Structure 1
Amino acid sequence: MSSHLQLALIVACILGFGAMEFVTRRYQASVSGKATANDAWLEVLMFVSLVAITQPIALLGSNALCNWLMPAQHNAWANLPWWAMTGLLLIGDDLTQYLWHRASHTPLLWPLHRAHHSSSYMSVRVTYRNNFFYYLMMPGLWIGGVAVYLGFGSVYGVYLVVKVAVILGAHCAWPWDAPLYRIRALRPLMWVIERAISTPATHWAHHALTNADGIGHYKGNFGNLLFFWDVLFGTAHITRKYPAQIGLQDDVLFGEERWTAQMFYPLVQSKREHSALRPGGAAITEIDQLVAAKQETA
């Protein structure tokens, strides 16, 4: 797949899901009135930085390292069948991203990921909302660069388009899976799909404000392209329902964090009293305790 075709397909996916948010009025109902200028700065600058800085650094950096460490392996795997390349990408990119995402919900790495959960809405605009260093350190981006060096170029291009389409759909304000669940004849197919790839129902649960309703599951459902990893490793929670509220409890109680701290921590740190975005502020587990204590005294 040529880079121009790949870019065109990715842009088409973004515009297509974005259009469905407006056509179904899900954007107006779920995002308008909730998204602030603070949200917009974070989302726009993170998307631009990912495309213009982080991905080129990972791809060019891994290429330079490969040229230095194993120059004889350039295009050495180019003759592998497409299905073998796809399998290796699913392990090298998607499985490692599942593990990276799961690790990012621990106290050590949570500050680099909390920006993705701080929006109070679901939308395609949230898809790449994260800390700058979260992506720069993501193993899958660097492994993808190694795969291209080894000769996976065309297959990697197709794989990337499919992955982008799935994760955009999982974040989209229009839950494309909802009408399909209501069609009795499609229930067996949807049973397979929701266990194979990330869907709005399973991924919205990961962004839920609370787990108390039995729908939210922000301590699981970590899959990106494949939800199968959650099924395999016991972190899956499937209800075919959608949480009533999205976001972070500490933001509701203590106020939203500035986009600068969310994007550039630890270089820029929060001034909020209770915050994971400053040393000695509060780890994710301590935030949960603070939320519970404040709710009890409210």
Structure 2
Amino acid sequence: MNATQNLILVAIILGFAAAEFISGRYRDFHATADDGKLELFMFVSLVAFTQPFIFAVVGKAGELWFPQWRGAWAGLPWWMMAAILLVGDDMTQYWWHRVSHTPMLWPLHRAHHTAHYMSLRITYRNNFFYYLMMPGLWVSGALIYLGFGDVYLAYVIVKLTVIMGAHSAVRWDEPLYRIKALSPLMWVVERTISTPATHWAHHALTNTDGVGHYTGNFGNLLFFWDVLFGTAHITRRYPEKVGLQDDLIFGKERWFTEMFYPLLRSRREHSALTPGGKIYAEAEADAGAPPHAAQRG
């Protein structure tokens, strides 16, 4: 199943990459060599190590302790399996993402926000341990052991398409907002799945423009979780800039520190990537932004 999943993943990536190239949006990236290394090595580590490792560990544990449960839920209807995956994988990822914006776990997610551009290439840009500890991957491994294999593959295809589309430099929702007849449909869409408008807002450099909302819009496949749990911010607009304020002031962290903290630690002033380090408090925090805004790095 992993080989099939990876082939489909490559096809989806190539599709979005082609769209970004044809649109010319790739010219806006201005990525550094460290950006490229972090994005490449995190993608390879997730696909080649982290996910296979988690699924193998869960499968082995099942064989040792619960052999009678292998494939036990394989007879469930596909829609029920899909619903269980949405809760067990996607909703738990919403909460994992949300708590990763608190001081304790922010260092494991910070790398995802240090990109100063939006593109499919940043979809898996994170700290190595962010994915290794992600509850949804462990739950998915257990559900696959229980017999969700084929449905999980279809679910992953849908999820990857949505989250890469939400990060893509090609804002696929933008032209649809201009079509008045589609307004009711888009009202439903933007409250159901993650779109460029809602997810770009999460990556915004600032919250002060009324568009940025890095203290919300945490959904991955379903934006509905943000609606349900009160963290949604919908404007149908896009932030002018994305990234982190402290990187602009103190310079960016090295890619290997972002990827392997806490094994490697920053020597930069005002860094979240050192235990007990003084975290730079943005001016927005003094202007009345949510308290956790001061903990973004």
Normalising by structure 1, what TM-score? 0.93
1:143 aligns with 2:139: yes
Residue 296 of structure 1 is matched in structure 2 by none
Alignment of 1:122-271 (within 5 A): 122-271=118-267
Amino acid at match of 1:244: E
Matches of 1:276 and 1:8, distance apart in 2: 36
Q: Is the 8 A contact 1:21 1:27 kept in 2?
A: yes
Aligned residues: 287
Q: Equivalent pairs: percent with the same residue? A: 64
Residue 82 of structure 2 is matched in structure 1 by 86
Deviation per CA, 1:187-215, whole angstroms, max 9, x where unpaired? 11111110000000000000000001000
Residue 54 of structure 2 is matched in structure 1 by 58
Residue 25 of structure 1 is matched in structure 2 by 24
Residue 288 of structure 1 is matched in structure 2 by 282
Q: 1:273 aligns with which of 263, 266, 269?
A: 269
Matches of 2:93 and 2:2, distance apart in 1: 23
Q: Is the 8 A contact 1:54 1:135 kept in 2?
A: yes
Instruction: Quote how far apart the aligned CAs of 1:50 are.
Output: 0.4
Q: Is the 8 A contact 1:43 1:125 kept in 2?
A: yes
Matches of 1:234 and 1:290, distance apart in 2: 21
Q: Is the 8 A contact 2:192 2:222 kept in 1?
A: yes
Residue 38 of structure 1 is matched in structure 2 by 34
Residue 5 of structure 2 is matched in structure 1 by 6
Q: Is the 8 A contact 2:208 2:284 kept in 1?
A: no
Matches of 2:186 and 2:2, distance apart in 1: 32
Matches of 2:244 and 2:74, distance apart in 1: 45
Normalising by structure 2, what TM-score? 0.94
Structure 2, unaligned runs of 5 or more: 288-297
Structure 1, unaligned runs of 5 or more: 294-298
Q: Secondary structure at the residue paired with 1:243?
A: coil
Amino acid at match of 2:165: G
Deviation per CA, 1:42-62, whole angstroms, max 9, x where unpaired? 000000100111011111011
Tell me the C-alpha RMSD between the 2 structures.
Answer: 1.5
Amino acid at match of 1:62: V
Instruction: Quote how far apart the aligned CAs of 1:6 are.
Output: 3.4
Q: Is the 8 A contact 2:38 2:259 kept in 1?
A: yes
Q: Secondary structure at the residue paired with 2:211?
A: coil
